[in-house]
Amino acid sequence: MKKILAFIVIAITCAFTNPPKELQLHYVFKKGETFEWSQTAMVTQHITVAGQEQNVETGIKGTTLMKTIEVSGANAKFEIEYLNISMKLKSGMGDQLMDSEGDTSNVFNKIMRSMKGKKFQFTLSKYGLVESVDNIENLWSGMAKLTQDPQAAQMKGAMERSFGKNAFKRSIESSLVYYPEEKVKAGSTWKHNVVGGSELPLQTANNWKLESVTEPTAVVISDGEITTTDTTKVIPMMGAFKATANLKGRQVIKSTISTSHGWPQTCKSYSEIKGKMILLAGGQIPEDMPMQMEITTEAEYTITKK
């Protein structure tokens, strides 16, 4: 009798328990909407070459303003500009701060400030893919008069690599959640591959999951595997050096999103990459030189509708 009663209780409980709600997640676009996008990141590199070890830390902070200027079908075009941006380098050679809000007697601060307010555009699909990046060269338009300084000229090249078209595309797609075309519910999983935005031939195979739903928000996570797609590709480095790479690692992302319009409110990510780069013979390097690399990146983003 007790067993029968227990089964009855379970049956009644199940009858009154709602199944997980299915959601059609995607980005909702409205012309004229404006977003403020704040981000911080810390990149730590541990390098071992020719028996010598070196640690380099790079801290990046920035705020951008993003406005929806066109909506067409499943895509939208955005105009974006930096409101402020800074980069702090810490290495065995000392510390260096480059800040758009810093003292303009410092040429590196001038370079950062010259990037402020320089508008460019990108097109985003409702699933979170960057379809195109346009006019990003405008970021460097204010640097022309600064490149007479040799240090500034070298830094301009570094800025173009760090903030250029491919790097920007990668940054946006890493910050946003990629959504599947199918409806999902709590516990649903899907996959998506992202190609690296730097000269390094890296790919991240993301395994996404809708972890929980508490409307009007939900939590989406990703556990991605990072691999090198071409270990023979010659990669240009600073100082005219060239290299090949064989790296692998992992990236974890956790985002709190709006269930009504798809935009993340907050996002945190962590990645670690390990492996070997080989500096190729040439110039000051008489023979190929292996270099062990360990790179970790911690980043946090906040996106606010204005």
Domain CATH number, residue 240:
2.30.230
Residue pair 56/47 in contact (Cβ under 8 Å)? The answer is yes
Residue 213 lies in a domain: yes
166 band by pLDDT with thresholds 50, 70 and 90: confident
Peptide bond preceding 216 in cis form (omega within 30 of 0)? yes
Average pLDDT, the chain: 87
By mean pLDDT, which of 26-35, 139-148, 163-172 is the weakest? 139-148
Of 191, 228, 197, the residue nearest 209 (C-alpha):
191
8 inside domain: no
Share of residues in the chain with pLDDT > 70 (%): 86
Q: What is the mean pLDDT of the segment spanning 170-174? A: 84
Q: Three-state DSSP class for 212?
A: strand
Q: Confirm whether 5 is domain-assigned.
A: no
- Can you give the pLDDT at residue 263? 96
Does the residue 10 lie in any domain?
Answer: no
Q: Evaluate whether residue 48 is within a structural domain.
A: yes
Count the domains in the chain.
1
CA dist., res. 301 & res. 306, Å (int): 16
- pLDDT of res. 34: 97
Q: What is the pLDDT of residue 16?
A: 45
At residue 134, the pLDDT reads: 95
The answer to whether residue 17 sits within a structural domain is no
At 147, is the pLDDT very low, low, confident or very high (cuts 50, 70, 90)?
Answer: low
Residue 210 located in a structural domain? yes
Residue 276: which H helix or E strand, with range?
A: strand 264-279
Per-residue pLDDT for 223 more than 70?
yes
Residue 139: pLDDT band (50, 70, 90) is confident
Q: What share of the chain is helix, strand, coil (3-state, %, to 5)?
A: 20, 50, 30
Q: Does residue 129 lie in a domain region?
A: yes
Q: What pLDDT is attached to residue 3? A: 46
Lowest-pLDDT range of 123-137, 158-172, 250-264: 158-172
Total-model pTM: 0.86
Domain range for 43 is 22-305
Q: How confident is the model at residue 171 (pLDDT cuts 50, 70, 90)?
A: confident
If one counts every other C-beta atom within 10 angstroms of the C-beta of residue 144, the result is: 10
Q: Note the pLDDT tens digit of each residue in 78-120.
A: 999 999 999 999 988 888 899 999 998 888 898 889 899 999 9
